[in-house]
Amino acid sequence: MLDFFKNNTTLSLGQLGERSAAIYLKNLGYKIVCVNFTNKQGRRLGEIDIIAKDSKQIVFVEVKTRKKTHYNNPNLPEENIGYQKLFKLKKISEYYIKTNNLWGVSYRFDAISLIYDQQTEIFTIKHLKSIFL
């Protein structure tokens, strides 16, 4: 997997994190439906990093990536998913459901938190399922 990242030196840390999250989900058997989904018309509602299918359920995934620090950083990537981000996720997911006529389909919101170690070039991944209760 390291070769995959070395060939993408122009990608930002966030983009590398999103790609790693997509690979992680594929390895779990999820089907990736869309990445970086946003509405094309009207006022921008927000963005969904990954839309996937887990069995018959649609999964809207927010990905947060941070670099590993040498000191104990108290801020975990998932702590940056605040009220405003959750509100935007809700709005853009409603738009996706409406435009794809998926009203009766089950769905959930997950978060994937990644910490990147520059020395080892390895991501540590934490998958948080059903972040909306």
Is the confidence at residue 36, as pLDDT, over 50? Answer: yes
Please compute the mean of the pLDDT values over residues 108-120 and round it to a whole number: 89
Q: CA 67 to CA 114: how far, in whole Å?
A: 8
* The two structure tokens encoding residue 97: 């459901």
Q: CA 76 to CA 103: how far, in whole Å?
A: 34
Enumerate residues 6+ apart whose C-beta is below 8 A from 106: 56, 57, 58
* The two structure tokens encoding residue 92: 């853009």
| Range name among 1-15, 30-44, 66-80 with the lowest pLDDT average | 1-15
Q: What is the pLDDT of residue 73?
A: 58
Share of the chain above pLDDT 70, in %: 86
Is the confidence at residue 33, as pLDDT, over 90? Answer: yes
| Span 45-96, pLDDT tens digits | 999 999 999 998 999 999 998 888 666 555 676 777 888 888 999 999 999 9
Q: What is the pLDDT of residue 82?
A: 81
Domains, the chain, in order of start with CATH, read 2-128 (3.40.1350.10)
Q: What is the pLDDT of residue 93?
A: 95
